[in-house]
Amino acid sequence: MLGLIGYPVFLVGAILAMFHLIDVTHGLGMLALVPGGLFELILPIWLFTKGFTPHQTEG
């Protein structure tokens, strides 16, 4: 969900920054970067731990 929310917010923030409507390097403009940043941190950790979870086999 963070990726589905984070990257559109990031895109809107980048477009607004191109037109100098917000500054994504200071203050409230940095909020546009938070969901995407959390996604970039959480997804690799989740994939790493999920990849090393032992699978139980039947038999």
Q: What is the mean pLDDT of residues 40-51?
A: 86
Rounded CA separation 47/36 (Å): 17
pTM beyond cutoff 0.75:
no
* Cα angle for residues 15, 22, 34 (degrees, 5° grid): 80
pLDDT tens sequence across 1-45: 767 887 888 888 889 889 998 888 888 778 878 888 888 898 889
Tokens (6 digits) for 45: 């950790």
Instruction: Tell me what pLDDT residue 53 has.
Output: 64
Judged by DSSP in three states, 25 sits in coil
